[in-house]
Amino acid sequence: MLLLQQSAQAHLVTTGLGPVYDGIGHFSLSPDDSIPVVALALLAGLRGKAAGRGLIFQLPVAWFVGGVAGLVANRAPIDPLRCVSFMAIGLLISADAPLPDLAVMAIAVAMGFLHGFLDGSGFAATGLGKGMLELLGIAIIIFVLATIFSALVVSMRQYWLRIVVRVAGSWIAAIGMLMLGWALRSAH
Amino acid sequence: MKTPRWITVLWTIGTILILAQSTQAHIVAGESGGFLSGLKHPWSGWDHICAMVAVGLWGAQLGMPAIWVLPVTFPVIMACGGFLGLIDAPFPGGTHGDEIGIAASAILLGLMVLLKASPPLPLAMILVGFFGLCHGYAHGHELPPGQSGLLYSIGFVVATGTLHALGITIGLVNNEWKGNVWVPLVAALLLAFMIGIGFSDALGVSGLNYWSHAAVGFVLASVALSFVVLKAQQGKGLVRVLGGAISLGGFIFLYQAFSEAPEKPATAPSAAAFISVAPQLSFGINTI
């Protein structure tokens, strides 16, 4: 999966299968989108079924709404926010923080809106109608990914499997920290 | 808590798969170069390799929860160091401060393994975290321009985790597989393969400098010493011997840091794999 991933691309991947699949393709090839979704699913999975159920509906919706807002506004927010989101979720996973379900939902909605906004801003050039279909494709793939990964973590009963998830969280946090350094270095 | 044997099997297979190197007939360009560059960077110096493997070894020695807490602490704090290096923050000790810290990490972490030291977990975390900061700063300072930051970071963190996994694997294999011939036999095949790559490397594909020759020679000597010790102890204490070798190797890095050598030891991932499989090979020969 890592080798297949491409860097963030403001322009869309053209699959030839229509805008919905273009959105799915864009998301699948953008680790800066897919990693936070997987991370949120891990976080929700660690917190249990209720958090997982909430995530799989609220995250795609927040992402879509954020995307539409981005399409309309056509202005990307400061990129380091993306790095900070990596760090925050990664640290929460690695600490296995005992967050209430409501907090997990709030984080998911905020993250979904932020990343959706970034995507929507990138799609603005394609037009509102096509862009919304592309965002719909992204929301669908987010629903699928979030469901699979949160269910996977919820089903983990052994102690060491939860540790594996926490280690993954620490890696995500480390990636976010390095990304932030890169962003600041590039800004200079 | 005794680790189930099948976990050890999966862990070992996973580590070997991750260790597999791609062929390098051409230079990888474009965005994927970011990931591959990041993946290779922690392998670019024996000093990094030794210290990170030592963290895994020490964690395996200490058992739960250190076996996962230490390898989690290291990359997170290392990323903080990488962040400081990326933004060109000043580092104590001048331009060679981080190099001296890295050499000290190999010496001290190797010593911890050799002595089988069992300090309180927070203390071990502080020690590992401090050295992680030194390693991260050096990495951050050396990052190549023009690569994809995200992909580079992913590769970088994965490679670091893999090096820890190497150390943990050696520890687990040491604990779980005594007397089993299959693992050492597979390890021997892998070793032969890696030595082949190592020779081609030395013959000029990427070139080995003086320090790498010294390091490889030192590792070979350490393995020979391991044979003697293993014969004497019937397979006990191998990890500690490896820790001692890493610690002594740290003095080479320390000398290098103080001598202000212009080059760091060149990349020799095959030799790093040699370190990882040599103990298993020793066990195999010892067992057979």
Asked if B149 is an interface residue toward chain A (Cβ–Cβ < 8 A), one would say yes
Rounded Cα–Cα distance for residues B64 and B237 (Å): 19
Give Cβ neighbours of residue B22 (< 8 Å, ≥ 6 apart): B36
User: Where does the pLDDT of residue B134 fall: very low under 50, low under 70, confident under 90, or very high at 90 and above?
Assistant: confident
Identify all chain A residues contacting B86, using CB atoms and an 8 Å cutoff. Answer: 178, 181-182, 184-185
Asked if A166 is an interface residue toward chain B (Cβ–Cβ < 8 A), one would say yes
Asked if A57 is an interface residue toward chain B (Cβ–Cβ < 8 A), one would say no
B82-119 pLDDT tens trace: 888 888 777 776 556 777 777 788 778 877 877 778 88
Dig out the tokens for A114 from the structure: 């932020």
- The answer to whether the CB of B23 falls within 8 A of the CB of B240 is no
* pLDDT greater at residue B221 or residue B28: B221
CB spacing of A178 vs B76 below 8 angstroms: no
* pLDDT greater at residue A43 or residue B176: A43
CB spacing of B75 vs A170 below 8 angstroms: yes
ipTM of the complex: 0.72
Q: Is the model's pLDDT at B72 over the cut of 60?
A: yes
User: Where does the pLDDT of residue B220 fall: very low under 50, low under 70, confident under 90, or very high at 90 and above?
Assistant: low
Chain B, nearest residue to A162 by Cα: B68
User: Where does the pLDDT of residue B21 fall: very low under 50, low under 70, confident under 90, or very high at 90 and above?
Assistant: very low
The pLDDT of residue B82 is 83
CB spacing of A177 vs B82 below 8 angstroms: yes
Q: Is the model's pLDDT at B162 over the cut of 50?
A: yes
Dig out the tokens for A88 from the structure: 């925050």
Q: Where are the domains of chain A?
A: 19-187
Span A55-66, average pLDDT: 89
Closest Cα in chain B, distance from residue A86 (Å): 11
CB spacing of A5 vs B78 below 8 angstroms: no
User: Where does the pLDDT of residue A136 fall: very low under 50, low under 70, confident under 90, or very high at 90 and above?
Assistant: confident
Dig out the tokens for B282 from the structure: 């020793």
Q: Is the model's pLDDT at A102 over the cut of 70?
A: yes
Share of chain A above pLDDT 90, in %: 3
Give the mutation candidate from B40, B80, B86, B152 for the A interface (greatest A CB count, under 10 A).
Answer: B86
CB spacing of A173 vs B76 below 8 angstroms: yes
CA nearest neighbour of B215 among B80, B43, B85, B84: B43
* pLDDT greater at residue B262 or residue A116: A116
Span B34-59, average pLDDT: 75
CB spacing of B34 vs A7 below 8 angstroms: yes
Identify all chain B residues contacting A175, using CB atoms and an 8 Å cutoff. Answer: 79, 150, 153-154, 157
Most confident of the following: A65-74, A128-137, B29-38: A65-74
* Range scoring the smallest mean pLDDT among A170-179, B41-50, B80-89: B41-50
Give the count of beta carbons closer than 10 Å to the beta carbon of residue B78.
31
User: Where does the pLDDT of residue A61 fall: very low under 50, low under 70, confident under 90, or very high at 90 and above?
Assistant: very high
Mean pLDDT value across chain A: 80
* Displacement of CA B218 from its chain's centroid (Å): 15
Going by the DSSP 8-state scheme, the letter that residue B143 receives in this structure is: P
Span A182-186, average pLDDT: 76
Asked if A15 is an interface residue toward chain B (Cβ–Cβ < 8 A), one would say no
Identify all chain B residues contacting A188, using CB atoms and an 8 Å cutoff. Answer: 87
The pLDDT of residue B226 is 53
Kindly report the pTM of this predicted structure.
0.67
CB spacing of B153 vs A8 below 8 angstroms: no
Mean pLDDT value across chain B: 64
Q: Is the model's pLDDT at A147 over the cut of 50?
A: yes
Share of chain B above pLDDT 70, in %: 43
Rounded Cα–Cα distance for residues B158 and B139 (Å): 14
Q: Is the model's pLDDT at A78 over the cut of 70?
A: no
A22-39 pLDDT tens trace: 778 888 777 888 888 989
Q: Which amino acid is at B261?
A: A
3-class SS at B184? Answer: helix
CB spacing of A177 vs B161 below 8 angstroms: no
The pLDDT of residue B6 is 57
Most confident of the following: A100-109, B105-114, B258-267: A100-109
Dig out the tokens for A146 from the structure: 């979030």
- The answer to whether the CB of B184 falls within 8 A of the CB of B284 is yes
Burial class (CB in 10 A: 0-12, 13-18, 19+), A158: exposed
Rounded Cα–Cα distance for residues B219 and A53 (Å): 53
Q: Is the model's pLDDT at B266 over the cut of 60?
A: no
Closest Cα in chain B, distance from residue A87 (Å): 10
**B245: number of CA atoms within 13 Å, CB side?**
28
- Write the DSSP assignment of A71-122 as a string of letters: HHH-----THHHHHHHHHHHHHHHTT----HHHHHHHHHHHHHHHHHHHHHH
CB spacing of A178 vs B82 below 8 angstroms: yes
Q: Is the model's pLDDT at B210 over the cut of 50?
A: no
3-class SS at B183? Answer: helix
Asked if A157 is an interface residue toward chain B (Cβ–Cβ < 8 A), one would say no
Rounded Cα–Cα distance for residues B11 and B14 (Å): 5
Share of chain B above pLDDT 90, in %: 0
Give the mutation candidate from A166, A182, A184, A186 for the B interface (greatest B CB count, under 10 A).
Answer: A182
